[in-house]
Amino acid sequence: MTEAISAFNKMGEEKQASMGEAETNLRKKWGAAYMQNIALSKKVVRQFADEKAFVELDKGLGNNPALIEMFANIGKILSEDQLVGKAGGLTLTPDEAQSEINKIKGDKEHPYWKEGHPSHQEAVDRMTQLMKLVTAGG
């Protein structure tokens, strides 16, 4: 009986460690967008899962990082369907921010590169914000 209890406790500890590692990896991947993406995941589950599925997800299946990412991506797509462009108020992940930085750097006609342009300061501020999102994720 003692061995069974010990094995059960070890399984619980391993599950907690695995969940902690999954959370750490998602926080690193999503950076400042972590909380927003978790909220999107939960919103999708609440919107589309029936009570039985919701209970099963809440029991532990919902702690699977692949499922959390999938639900967050579904939430982003649904938000984009309702709005033009990036869903309002969503924070970019470090990868999305880097992609936007690369786009600006590759476009020498962008206001960021033209000091006299009326939107130059706005573009510089945006680039600063993007850089912070990239460095906050790593």
Contact indicator for 85, 27 with CB cutoff of 8 Å: no
- Amino acid at the residue 17: A
Query: Per the structure block, which two tokens stand in for 60?
Result: 């532990």
Query: In angstroms, rounded to a whole number, what is the distance separating the alpha carbons of residues 126 and 128?
Result: 5
Query: Per the structure block, which two tokens stand in for 34?
Result: 């972590």
Alpha carbons within 13 angstroms on the beta-carbon side of residue 102 total 7
- Nearest CA to 138 out of 104, 93, 105, 103 is that of 93
| Three-state secondary structure call for residue 108 | coil
Query: In angstroms, rounded to a whole number, what is the distance separating the alpha carbons of residues 45 and 57?
Result: 9
Contact indicator for 63, 14 with CB cutoff of 8 Å: no
| Three-state secondary structure call for residue 120 | helix
CB atoms within 10 A of CB 112: 21
Full-prediction pTM beyond 0.95?
no
pLDDT in tens, the chain (138 residues): 788 787 777 777 777 777 788 888 888 889 988 888 888 888 888 788 888 887 777 666 667 788 888 888 888 888 765 544 444 567 888 888 899 999 999 999 998 999 998 888 999 999 998 998 888 754
